[in-house]
Chain A
Amino acid sequence: MADVNKGARPLSPHISIYRPQINSITSIINRITGVSMSLAAVLMVWWLLAAATSASYFDFVNGLLTSWLGLLVMLGSLWALWFHFLGGVRHLVMDFGYGYEIKSVDFWGWAIIALSLVLTTASIICLSTF
Chain B
Amino acid sequence: MTYKTDMGRVKGLGTAKEGTHEWWIGRLTAVALIPLTLCFIWKVAPLIGGSHADVLAAFQSPLTSITTILFIMIAFIHLAGGLQEVIVDYIHGKAMLVVLLVSTKLLCWGMGFAGAFAVAKIAFGA
Contact = CB atoms under 8 A, between A and B. Distances in A.
11 contacts: A38-B79, A41-B79, A42-B111, A45-B72, A45-B114, A51-B118, A52-B117, A52-B126, A58-B55, A88-B33, A92-B31
A85 B37 contact: yes
Most A C-beta atoms less than 10 A away, residue of B5, B45, B56: B45
B49 A48 contact: no
Interface of B: 1-6, 27, 30-31, 33-34, 37, 41, 45-46, 48-50, 52, 55-56, 72, 75-76, 79, 82-83, 86, 111, 114-115, 117-119, 121-122, 126
A11 interface: no
Interface of A: 1-3, 31, 34-35, 37-38, 41-42, 44-45, 47-49, 51-53, 55, 58-59, 62, 65-66, 74, 78, 81, 85, 88-89, 91-92, 95, 123, 126-127, 130
Nearest to B115: A45
A78 B49 CA distance: 15
B6 to A, nearest CB: 7
